[in-house]
Each structure stands twice: as structure tokens, then as C-alpha cells.
Amino acid sequence: MVRPSPESPNFLWILRSFFAKSYNKLRFLWLIKILHLLCDLRSHTWLTRVEAAISMFLNTLTPKFYVALTGTSSLISGLILIFEWWYFRKYGTSFIEQVSVSHLRPLLGGADSNRQSVSALFSLSLCLCLCLPPAECKVWRNPLNLFRGAEYNRYTWVTGREPLTYYDMNLSAQDHQTFFTCDSDHLRPADAIMQKAWRERNPQARISAAHEALELEDSVSDYKGSTEELCCATAYILLAEEEATTIMEAERLFKQALKAGESCYRRSQQLQHHGTQYEAQHRRDTNVLVYIKRRLAMCSRKLGRTREAVKMMRDLMKEFPLLSMFNIHENLLESLLELQNYADVQAVLAKYDDISLPKSATICYTAALLKARAVSDKFSPEAASRRGLSTAEMNAVEAIHRAVEFNPHVPKYLLEMKSLILPPEHILKRGDSEAIAYAFFHLQHWKRVEGALNLLHCTWEGTFRMIPYPLEKGHLFYPYPICTETADRELLPMFHEVSVYPKKELPFFILFTAGLCSFTAMLALLTHQFPELMGVFAKAFLSTLFAPLNFIMEKVESILPSSLWHQLTRI
């Protein structure tokens, strides 16, 4: 079979049929336009015209134009940099990067957007499984919070520093109003006084209101001559929390509150089905009773009666199993560790270290401590590097990695690389506030286990090599929230240096905009000082910019035969 030569008429027909079969009509037309453009470039007519126009345009420009151009570019890039920095400080991400990822990438690639939607759906389902919001920093009440009068105020008297922030105390005031008040408090004068007392900002005003409520209850009881217990339990709670200067005094007041709280609880329990008003009263009385018993158990723990505290906590958990919002099991774990009853600690962990329940630093690090306890006394980094890790050592290291990933701030406090402060009344899970609250009470338990801190010291930093980049993605847990730094700064006092993880690295677009702003500002300054010289540099830059295009066209002309160019121009 004889091949048609490029000069023969049949070659054009074969070329046309080939393009018609391979491409649709639109792509074929675009190909024809590109071929015409290449043919014009080959003859240098278009390129010559462009060069002539650019040369004439540059020759007519004055130095003032270059000054205005570079100054305007520097101003625009500076405004973009300021906006990017403000957006990053407020939301923790780059505006340009967020727009490109959220809006431009789905338009450019459908498969990637589908994968991202599947990944986002998986992350959302995982967060729902863990009973946690996907992108929200929820603040929790500290299960081991101290007593204001007997502990926080004593710290203020000694050091002159306020251990609690206004934000933290305001959250506590909201909790007290939720737990200790109800809509029917106006029916009893003492409850109405206490409802106002929980809203007071001044501590002395709250204490005075509590005394007033107790005096009013006593006067009513004497007037009616009744033997029925009418004392206001919440007034005793407030005095035990804020007026008592010792734990023994606080315990005495809580015992009086318990007597009043049990009486109110029995009375409201009988009337709870008589209407919504009585249901609200019973719910309030239940919260008051649980709070009193829990604080009495904590008083026993602080006074050294740990076994008594454990019994009170176990009884409370059996009596009110649904009130998990108080996290009484964390108090129980700390007390059992003090008794070195590790079997019971493991039993409590088996019940609460479940995927359907929210995690905490107490649960994760206590599980790591129990596994480290089995191998820490004989662990040696040199021996482990020679022979490798055994199965038990590997389990302990994995448990430490899991705990460190959940809250990476804890190891520095346990290893005493960072000084401790009094824990706040509220904590942010996975934040610095939770790390302080955990280490404040559990450091002694880690020191008691021989070699546990040494094992932690040798292995905790290896966690960060396992977490994928960027660090917010996480490995075993849901993505690390970006709002932890803001919440921790609100919860922790000003004199404490807040630990931040992950470190917020400046996005690429902020660095790029900063470099662009600096470069254009320098160009504006040089153009203002040396306008003629900068004009010469600008012309040389544009000539250099078009040099590769000339080189490419010369190479294309030398490779393709002239007959093919001629046939392509005829299509």
C-alpha cells in the first residue's frame, strides 16, 4: 500500500477524517484555531507585532508611571496581608486557602470533592459516635474542682493572685442556677433569696444572702412551731463552698445541707407526678442531693478517709446511675489509685473507657498508667533498643501514645517540665486546662509507680511522629479542635503560660502575601529613587520574559517540515 505524500490532495482528506473521528466538533474547531496561531507564530508576524506594540508602549511611559505602579501594588498587597492576618487570628485559617479548598477545588475536580465529602461524612459520624460536636469546644465542669473558701481563697491570701478567671466563675454561676434553682422558687421566700444569691457577682453579697435565707427559714419554723425540716439546703451549700476556710468546716456545713436536702428530696419525690411544677422541684432537689453527697465524699478524700470516700462514691453511683454529667467515676478512679487498688481501677476503666462514651485525660492516662505499671520497673531504653520491645512493653507504649494524642499537654506537667497551678473550676477536654486538672491530682500516683515516669519520658514524644500532617487530622481520635487556645486563655489565669497544641503555623498565603508586600514596597522605593534605571530594568525584564517563547518557536520551526506547515495552514 502506497502512503500518500504530504503534498498529495488525499493527505488533506485523510487528515480531516482522522480529526473528525478522534474529536468532537468543538475540539476540532479549537484545534484549527491553535494551528492557525502556530502558523502565524512561525512566520513571526504576530510575535513581531506584539514586540513592536510592547516596545512602543514602554517607550512612551514616564518614570512617574513606574512609581505609581509599584506603589499601588505595594498598597494592595499590604491590604491583603492585613486582612489575611486578621482572618487567621480570628478563625485560625487562611481566607484564600479556605476559599480555594471549599469552592474552587470542587469545581476543578469532582472526584476529589466526592472523596472529601465522604471523608467529612466519616469524620462527622465518628464525632457523633463519640458524642462530641465536630467543630465545637465544649467546656466541662471539673470533676475534681477545689473549694473556693478553703482552697482558692487561701491561695489568694498567700500569693495575692486570683486563681480563677471571671469567665470561669461566670460559668460556675450558670451551673449553680441550673442545678440549684427552678421556676417555682418564688413560692418560698428562702428559695427566692437563694435564687438571687446565685446570680450575685460579689462573694460577700452571696454569703450575706445565704445567711439571710437561713435566718428566714428559722423564723418561719419557730413561728409555725413545726418539727418539719424547712432549712434551705442550697444556702448551706453556698456557705460550705465560699465561707468555710477549712475542709473540716466545709464538711460540717455539707452535713447540715445533707439533712435538709434529704428532707426536701423525699417530699418532692412524693409530689413529682402532680404536675410540671413538682417535676421541676424534684429535679432540682435531686441535683442538690447528688451535689452534696459528692462534695461530702471529696471532703472525706481530702481529710484522709479515702475508703469512706470510695464507699460514698460507689453508693452515689448506684443510687443515681443516670446522672453521668457529674463524672463521679473520675473521683472514684483518683481515690482508688490513692488506695493502690489497681484491680478495681481496671474494673472502672472497663466500664467507662468505651467508644460510645466521651474520653477524658483521666481515663486515657489512667489506662496508660496501669499498662506501664506492668513493665516500668524493669524497663530500660538501652535494653529495649537492643532486643526490641516485648508484647507488654508494646502495649504500654501504645497506651501512652493514645493518651498523649488525646491530650498532649499532660506529659510536661507529669515530668515537671512545666510548673503546675491550681486547676480551674471548668476544663476544656484535650486542652491545657484539663492537663492541669489531671496532673494536679494524679502526679503523685505516677510517682508512686516505679519507672512509670521514666517510661513516659522515653516514649511520649514518639506520638507526634505517628499523627499525620497537619496535626489537626489526628490518628486515633477525632480531629483536634482549633479553638482550644482561645477557650483555655479564658479559663486559665493571666500569670499562667498557656500550652498550645497543635502549633498554629502561618499558612502559605500569609507568607506569600508578606513576601509580595515586602518585594513590591522595595520596588516602589527603588523606583522612586532611581526612576530611569528601574525603567531600563523593566524593559530588560519583559524582553527576557519573551525570550523563551522565541526560542520555542525556533525549535518548532526547525523540527517540523515546511510542507506540513503549509498543509496545516490550508485546513
Mean pLDDT by 10 residues, the chain (571 residues): 46 49 49 57 54 62 68 76 72 66 56 40 35 58 91 91 92 89 78 87 91 80 46 87 93 92 83 76 87 93 94 90 77 93 92 77 93 86 78 89 90 92 92 94 93 90 71 65 83 90 65 75 76 76 76 71 59 56
Q: How many other CB atoms are found less than 10 A from the CB of residue 378?
A: 11
pLDDT confidence of residue 4: 46
Residue 63: its pLDDT value, please? 67
Contact by Cβ (8 Å): 443, 144 = no
Helix or strand (DSSP H, E) at 427: strand 426-428
Cβ within 8 Å of residue 436, ≥6 positions away: 413, 420, 421, 423, 424, 492
The single residue listed with the C-alpha cell 506501664 is 372
Residue with cell 453527697: 293
Spatial CA neighbour of 509 closest among 95, 125, 204: 95
Phi first, then psi: give them for residue 423, nearest 5 degrees.
Answer: -70, 150
Helices (H), 449-507: 452-459, 463-466, 484-491
Who contacts 403 (Cβ-Cβ below 8 Å, separation ≥6)? 361, 364, 365, 367, 368, 410
What confidence score (pLDDT) does residue 98 get?
66
pLDDT given at position 117: 40
For residue 216, what is its C-alpha cell? 428566714
Residue closest to 47 by CA, chosen among 565, 557, 553: 553
For residues 392, 395, 400 and 406, what is the CA-based torsion angle, rounded to 10 degrees?
-160
Largest Cα–Cα separation, the chain: 127
470 preceded by cis ω (within 30°)?
A: yes
Per-residue confidence (pLDDT) for residue 40, from 0 to 100: 54
Residue with cell 412551731: 225
Instruction: For 427, list phi and psi in degrees, rounded to 5.
Output: -130, 155
Cβ atoms of 300 and 285 closer than 8 Å: no
Distance in angstroms (rounded) separating the CA atoms of residues 538 and 379: 68
pLDDT, position 319: 87
Q: Phi, psi (5° rounding) for residue 184? A: -95, 15
Residue for grid cell 476544663: 427
- 3-state DSSP of 174-198: HHHHHHHCCCCHHHCHHHHHHHHHC
| β-strand partners of 141 | 426
Q: How many CB atoms lie within 10 A of CB 61?
A: 13
> What is residue 559's three-state secondary structure?
helix
Q: What is the pLDDT of residue 113?
A: 41
